[in-house]
Amino acid sequence: MSTPPPCEAPLTPPETPRRFGSRLIIKSQEHEGQHLAENLELDRAWQELERTLFAMFLPGLARRILEEVPDLRTLDSSRVLNRSFYMAYRANPLFLIRRALQKMCPPAWELREMGLPWARPCTVEYFRCLKMKEQPAPTITVANYMSHYAYESMVVARIIGAIFTTEQHAYLCHHESLLETVHDACMRIWTFCRIFGCGKGREGEWLSGGAQVRQPSGPSVV
């Protein structure tokens, strides 16, 4: 009877559970490191794409936002938010100011767009220029546009203070909608006078209620 061959020892000892678990952890760490490296490359590529897109579209987007601001105060604060907004404002400030004024107060914008006297507000040359039938074409800039707007706003504020009693003025100040209505009415009357009164020689008739004003209405036009 032949004896069985002796059992050969394995070339490598069998792995214990602890060694097998350690090898899995190492492989997991290697895979995680590779995954993190891929994520970093993807993040860098995405950031570069974002910078490219911002460089392409942000200036136009900033201008569109500035075009939709509701008033001059918002425009003034928005233009300094960052470099893109500031450059969008610097590209065409007068257009943006006009648009913001139109949204904020259409009557004030209408008066401003009726013409810009070449003289500085509240001077003899300014009032002489208003009476000229053919005014010289002025060069409109941000500075003189805003200067005339500030002057016109001041005049309307003084008119409102002059035509109402102290009690009426205090009442208007506590009812903003009514005050805005009166302000807009004064601006529109001023615009009407600029269109139909300046240089026509009719200012005296309007102010004194002269004979032409008291004439009966008819088909003829004076």
Give me the tens of pLDDT residue by residue for the chain, a chain 222 residues long: 555 555 555 544 555 555 555 555 555 655 666 666 667 777 777 777 666 656 665 668 888 999 999 999 999 999 998 888 899 999 999 999 999 999 999 999 999 888 766 677 777 777 777 666 666 667 889 998 999 899 999 999 999 989 888 888 888 888 889 989 999 999 999 888 877 766 666 656 656 655 554 555 444 444
- pLDDT of amino acid 95: 96
Q: In the chain, what are the domain boundaries?
A: 26-94, 105-199
* pLDDT (tens digit per residue) in 170-216: 888 888 899 899 999 999 998 888 777 666 666 566 566 555 545 55
pLDDT at 165: 86
CA 28 – CA 30 distance, rounded (Å): 5
Q: What is the pTM of this model?
A: 0.63
- What are the DSSP calls for the chain, one per residue? -PPPPPPPPPSSPPPPHHHHHHHHHHHHHHHHHHHHHHHHHHHHHHHHHHHHHHHHHHHHHHHHHHHT-SSHHHHHHHTTSSHHHHHHHHHSHHHHHHHHHHHH-HHHHHHHHT---SSPTTSHHHHHHHH-SSPPPP---HHHHHHHHHHHHHHHHHHHHHHS-HHHHHHHHT-HHHHHHHHHHHHHHHHHHHHHTTTTT-HHHHHHT-HHHHSPP-S---
Please report the pLDDT score of residue 139 as a whole number: 81
